[in-house]
Amino acid sequence: MTMHSLKDLVNDARAALNNEGTRIGPGDPAPLRFELFSAANSICSQKVRAVLAQCSQPYRSHMLDIFAGDSYLPAYVRLRLVGCDAIGAGLVNRHSGSTSVAAGGGCDAAVVPTLVDWQTGEVVVDSKRICLHIDAATAGCTSLGLRPDHLAARIDAELDTIDNLPNYQMLNGLPPSEDRRPGPLRGRTGVAFAMSKVERCERLLAAHADDEALVRAYTAKRAKELDAAQQLFDAQRMRDAYARAEAACEALERKLQAARTRWLLDEEVTMADVFWGVELARMANLGADSFWIDGTRPALAAYADRTRNLDAIRQAVIDWPGACF
Ligand SMILES: N[C@@H](CCC(=O)N[C@@H](CS)C(=O)NCC(=O)O)C(=O)O
């Protein structure tokens, strides 16, 4: 794609969102390399904002409201399709319960985050890929970056574990009598949430029936959310999702107890710590810190506290307006 057509696509997305974006991060207001489309309360977006903060990378930030359906706006979807097509995995039309492209079976053209790299002219999608792209592209993280070569395989294993956690199911809570989510989320069921997205796709399909690219995007997204509504949210599936998250916490507790380094894998913060920090902050926000508080998993409790206090996690999640429920 030419830089000219990329500029047109981004300008259209900016106009659809009705904002020019806000500059985030250190340095003077020189032209910015990165432009990020994210949502305050999206865990995938939080990972990217935290990595940008950890790497001291300034960027132009556009906030989308995912509950209002901003990520389905035609101009935004057209921009994101460029990134999806670059992955080459096709569009996902079923739901695994996690947000992972690898586990889910493809790319979703109606979600956040999306990164534009003005230096390379790329649209980069999928939080894990975006974070690796930022780390490889910038010298601001640490001297070896957030994914030093000698730890790459172990860091990747942690990122995959986190990427495959059932975050979509967890967001929608446990069965009502066991639900520990904060008040505003209680009573919202996953089925109603997913079906509201199905209905939104149907309205958009009717409105853009003659636009091949949009029809492709909304058809896949409709099928994915219908699949979610039909098979992710019965009581047993919800309990299984929380049980899988607790098992990941138990594995992390054992690794932390065995670790001889300041952070999980190294003396310096790696991308594994940034991702775990975001994930543990989300679990705490949903009331799933019962997995480690009250002495249940002491090493994890201390680690959750330390990662929560990382400047990058504070800036991108804890203190970011609207990031916590
Ligand atoms: N694999 C993608 C998944 C992105 C994703 O699922 N984003 C969610 C928020 S974390 C979203 O935008 N949901 C809005 C919707 O489905 O309507 C990534 O990691 O970036």
CATH number for position 84: 3.40.30.10
Is 116 contained in some domain?
yes
| Domain boundary, last residue among 146, 181, 209 | 146
Asked if 217 and 244 sit in the same domain, the reply is yes
Q: Can you give the residue range of the structural domain that contains 98?
A: 3-146
Tell me which residue has tokens 């799933």: 288
Q: How far is ligand 1, taken at its centre, from the CA of residue 112, in Å?
A: 5
- Residue 4's pLDDT is 73
Is 63 contained in some domain?
yes
pLDDT tens per residue, range 58-83:
999 999 999 999 999 999 999 999 99
Tell me which residue has tokens 């999702």: 241
Asked if 134 and 181 sit in the same domain, the reply is no
CATH number at 235 reads: 1.20.1050
Asked if 8 and 141 sit in the same domain, the reply is yes
Is 121 contained in some domain?
yes
Please state the pTM of the whole predicted model.
Answer: 0.96
pLDDT at 96 over 70: yes
Asked if 129 and 231 sit in the same domain, the reply is no
| Domain boundary, last residue among 92, 119, 146 | 146
Is 155 contained in some domain?
no
Interatomic CA distance for residues 14 and 25, integer angstroms = 20
Is 158 contained in some domain?
no
Asked if 177 and 127 sit in the same domain, the reply is no
Ligand 1 site, residue 316, Cβ cutoff 6 A: no
Domain count of the chain?
2
| Domain boundary, last residue among 95, 120, 146 | 146
Is 197 contained in some domain?
yes
Nearest to 21 by CA among 118, 106, 131, 87: 118
Ligand 1 site, residue 221, Cβ cutoff 6 A: no
Is 156 contained in some domain?
no
Average pLDDT over residues 129-133: 96
User: Where residue 89 falls among pLDDT bands split at 50, 70, 90?
Assistant: confident
pLDDT tens per residue, range 145-187:
899 999 999 999 999 999 999 999 999 888 888 888 988 888 7
Ligand 1 site, residue 113, Cβ cutoff 6 A: yes
Interatomic CA distance for residues 213 and 77, integer angstroms = 9
Q: Any idea what DSSP says for residue 314? A: I
Nearest to 60 by CA among 20, 100, 88, 99: 20
- Residue 145's pLDDT is 86
Nearest to 45 by CA among 25, 21, 65, 69: 65
Cβ atoms 291, 297 nearer than 8 A: yes
Supply φ then ψ for residue 180, to 5 degrees.
Answer: -115, 10
Is 325 contained in some domain?
no
Asked if 169 and 137 sit in the same domain, the reply is no
pLDDT at 315 over 70: yes
- Residue 140's pLDDT is 67
Asked if 136 and 188 sit in the same domain, the reply is no
Asked if 126 and 7 sit in the same domain, the reply is yes
Residues of the chain above pLDDT 90, percent: 83
pLDDT at 234 over 80: yes
Q: Of ligand 1's atoms, which has the minimum distance to the CA of residue 101?
A: 1
Asked if 204 and 142 sit in the same domain, the reply is no
Q: How far is ligand 1, taken at its centre, from the CA of residue 260, in Å?
A: 35
- Residue 80's pLDDT is 98
| Window from 92-106, 215-229, 275-289 with minimum mean pLDDT | 92-106
Average pLDDT of the residues of the chain: 94
User: Which neighbouring-strand residues pair with 91?
Assistant: 107
Asked if 67 and 186 sit in the same domain, the reply is no
Asked if 129 and 11 sit in the same domain, the reply is yes
Ligand 1 site, residue 111, Cβ cutoff 6 A: yes
Asked if 250 and 203 sit in the same domain, the reply is yes
Q: How far is ligand 1, taken at its centre, from the CA of residue 110, in Å?
A: 8
Q: How far is ligand 1, taken at its centre, from the CA of residue 126, in Å?
A: 8
- Residue 105's pLDDT is 78
